[in-house]
A and B are shown apart, each in its own frame.
Chain A
Amino acid sequence: MRLRSVLLCAAALAALLGGIALAKDKDRFLPPPPGPDRDYYVARVAPWIDANCASCHRQEGAGGFRLEPVRDGVSEERRRRADFERVVPFVNRQVPWESRLLLKVLEPADGGDPHVGGAFLEAESDDHDMLLDFVSGATPANVAPEVWFENTEVRAKPGEKVIVDGRDSYDRDIEDMDKLAYWWELYARPAESRVAILDRRASRLEFEPDTGGSYVFRLRVGDGKVWSAPRAVTVEVFDRVKVVRTKPGGISGLDDLEEANLRRLRRIYLDVLGRSPTPGEALAEGRRSIKSLVGNVLLRAEMGRAWVEEVGIRFGLYDDFRPVSEEATDLALRIPAENLPPHVVESVLARDPSFLRRHPPGRPLAEAIGRLLLGRAPTVDEIVASNRLAAGEAVTLEGLGSVSDPRAWLVKVLDSEAFLRASIQRRLARFLDSGDVTRRFGRALGAVREGNKAWREYLQSVLLDRAYLNRRTLRPKGAVTFLRSLFIDLLERKPTDRELAALVRAIEAMDGETAAFAALVRIMIDSGEAPLPLLVDIEDAPRWIKDRFLRYLGRPPTVAELKAYGQVLLHPQGGPEVVVQALLTGPEYACR
């Protein structure tokens, strides 16, 4: 009771102080999630590892995971205990279900990572549960509980009661799930919101969003012995948004919108959220003021996720190299909540231990620091220095002074003025042409130095600038935005981070700007997953073609286009699929 009063007072104080966007008070009342247990490993996991992993990973040259070499006179028990120490770095306590130990052996269809040795487990198998229990902190006497949500993304309107149900959470070694304890935290909310959690211990969370934006709640569950790792659920709240699902042959109604408004909306979605809007979103937001739209979009959790995904993919931090630090895991949510500037966002990901694993000391690190962080090729001196650092020698670098090890070099670069400038330029280049980036750079730098709020205001001013909104020339979408847009426009869903990484990897292996995407469009169309109409479902062919132009390109067709697309639509070898394929593989769709 006393605790609850304290929490209520804290929430009220927060509200009085004007809305703290990111609540960081939560975990101080709970112990951290349990780490992997040695005894459980030796008893349950080690036999499985010995049977499936040891033949490769007990030798050198089988990736970064290496088990204890076999030595004469060392008992099996002792060797397994030594193996445990080598396994622990592959466990992520904060997000155990994303531990590399688990994902490397899981079927790709169940979300597993690529693995040279192949996949050994399906998500439904007992062995998978055993490994999941291990990474979640199971001991021989107790299995840790796990949070589970049916949906981790919920949509709502302001003022509408939202229920987030935590009762799908479970514990494999207790029968009565009513014995589970719950602990909710409000992890992020829009800056103007005053929403607070009234009952942190309820199994279902109820709240009424008071403003549009993203609300992030995290839940932990306890079984009386340990508390699980937290799992987040995002509630996206938008005014007037309702999911409009027209029949495949139907008309979305986008022709009711002014063309200029649709074009601006698409530009902001493509640049900030890294995807095209759905027809429902376009209809709901195409009529609101541009100022309100920009303010709202910059507050969304999706904006943070899109940015982190793009930087992560550019840094090569996917699959085996997925970020593992708590700072990196929370980064996407902190971006809209704290208005983080570019150098902070990139720096958090570059400081993650995965970055140095992905770009090991020696020439790869010199290349990464030069090209990825400083926006230039590495100098000969830097390559030599990186090789010497890899050999354990200390070096002196121009402008950075004495550096004793590769991590110290990386940290000094991330703290440098050159990195600050390069990161701002990269972020501005997302929205502006190179000439405008140069012209506006001074103001952007000033805003970043002034603080996070000034940076957000500056970014808003860029997006509200007439020159930006009315620019006629187009710019290439880039791989990630192209892929996300294809998923939205064809499959009507966002890609998962694994799908995105796998497709980026495939597309990077191919030459040319657009051919790989064109092949992908064909796969999606032939999959049967894309809700495309049959010719007989289309009642008004010219209007349907115009609707598809508005959906995919944000403009109506010219007279010549309408005629040509109409002919293809009605041709025996053509049809709606070829019309859609032509639009999504044409040069204009490749641009934003």
Chain B
Amino acid sequence: MNVRRIPLVLLLLLGAATGVQARGGGKAKKPAAPEHVVLVILGGGVRTQDLLDPELMPTVAAMATSGHVVKQVASGAPDGYAAAARILTGKRAGLDGAAKERPAHPTLAEIVREQRKLPGEKAWFVSFEGEEQLHLAHSTHAQHGAVFAPSVAYGQGAFAQPMASFLEVLGRPVPMEPETWAQLRRLRLLSRNARRSVIPREIDAGLPQAERVERALLRELDRKALLNRGPNPRDEEATRAALTVLEVHRPVLTVIRYGEAEQAQASYAAYRRVLAANDAGLARLRTAVAADPRMGGRTTFVLVADRGRNEKPDAQGRLAADDASKQRRHVAVVIDGPGLARRPRLKGPRSIDDIAPTIARLLGCRMPHADGTSWDSLLAAK
């Protein structure tokens, strides 16, 4: 063989070997599309400059660095409720936010549940507030509506909230020591092995997956849940509830709606404290997802403010939402995770109505009722 050809042959062999590895059982490729999406709606109105301020919101800044930021997204909704309805349905049609009506058109969660044939626990709407704010979870649409409604969590959480009266009477449990968990694990497994032949397969007590869920539930219920005195108590409740939901159910779609940024109406300083605390909550959510072997690397986070705020605080130190600035009329969307194009080129006007169709597309669904259009160039080609 000609000596000069050896490097070429080696190169060809190396290339062939790499090809085999990619198709075979070697190192797993990063998935082209996410298996889970977490949509966080920063309700209450947030300026783009605050959202992308790395000192105020370092987690969002990190997301923006590793993912993409879509700026100049128009949000013309008159209030947070109506804006969230637009984000969730992709419909421009105005909703009377004051009446807190259910949307008339199917929400993203309904569409994903219907088209992916998902059970209720695989799509969640987590809200900073209960009551009428939960109307955003699903629409009144005859073909979708309640039948494809997502599960909802708010306040003390999906597990603790229905048990509120029970907990009021019996009190909350004390956090358990690590040693107690080890003892329980040992005894349960012993019983499981002793009666292996007579216990039905579906009974999961004593198995690691059951303990994982049990720990998450007890974290939601334990007495620490009552010690919530931060600047954003209702958003913090939503974060706690979302953490349980993510850990217990590993939903395909999780919508988390915060609302405390509304404090800007009274105090710009309080607003900034809320944003910092929300960013810390977001960091906890991302850490929990990354730590879960079945969600880490397979989850895309989408973060959007429902509407903007005035360019500058007023003389009383309030940051209202009534001027004509771009900061008030536009919001930013930060998106990070698998399923995104490397160098997206988004052109033309964009609005918050596009968010639901884009997420639907990420999850392999379509939103035929939406007015908005999917940002296809942002997404990786399939």
Contact = CB atoms under 8 A, between A and B. Distances in A.
Q: Do A and B come from one complex?
A: yes
Interface of A: 59-61, 108-109, 114, 116-117, 362-364, 367, 387, 390, 472-476, 498-499, 502-503, 505-506, 509-516, 518-519, 522-529, 558, 560-561, 564-565, 568, 571, 573-574, 578-579, 581-583, 585-591
Given A513-B202, A585-B188, A588-B199, A524 B170 contact: yes
A236 B161 CA distance: 36
Nearest to A509: B158
State which size class the interface on B falls in: 35 or more
Contact of B162 (A363, A505, A523): A505
Contact of B168 (A108, A529, A581, A591): A108
Contacts of A387: 142-143
Interface string B155-199: 000111111111111111110110110011011101110110111
B340 to A, nearest CB: 29
Contact of B187 (A117, A472, A524, A565): A565
Nearest to A549: B191
A502 B101 contact: no
Given A509-B158, A510-B159, A582-B188, 10 more contacts: A61-B102, A114-B162, A363-B142, A364-B146, A499-B166, A511-B248, A515-B217, A525-B173, A526-B172, A591-B198
Contacts of A558: 194
16 contacts: A61-B101, A363-B143, A473-B200, A502-B165, A510-B248, A514-B204, A515-B248, A516-B213, A518-B217, A561-B194, A564-B190, A571-B183, A573-B183, A583-B191, A586-B206, A591-B200
A514 B199 CA distance: 13
Contacts, number: 192
B183 A516 contact: no
A361 B269 CA distance: 51
Interface stretch (B81-89, B130-138, B306-314, B327-335): B130-138
Given A476-B203, A573-B183, A519 B214 contact: yes
B174 to A, nearest CB: 5
B147 A582 contact: no
A561 B186 CA distance: 10
A582 B203 CA distance: 15
A582 B205 contact: no
A574 B200 contact: no
Given A509-B159, A564-B186, A523 B170 contact: yes
* 9 shortest interchain CB distances as A-B pairs: A108-B165, A515-B213, A527-B170, A582-B187, A573-B179, A514-B205, A506-B162, A519-B217, A515-B214
A578 B164 contact: no
Contacts of A512: 204, 209-210, 213, 248
Contact of A526 (B143, B161, B174, B217): B174
A184 to B, nearest CB: 34
B218 interface: yes
Contacts of A514: 203-205, 210
Contacts of B171: 523, 526-528
A522 B173 contact: yes
B249 interface: yes
Given A578-B183, A590-B205, A116 B163 contact: no
Contacts of A526: 171-174
Given A524-B170, A587-B203, A591-B203, A511 B121 contact: yes
Interface in B106-152: 121, 130-132, 135, 142-143, 145-147, 151
Given A513-B210, A527-B171, A474 B162 contact: no
Contacts of B206: 586-587
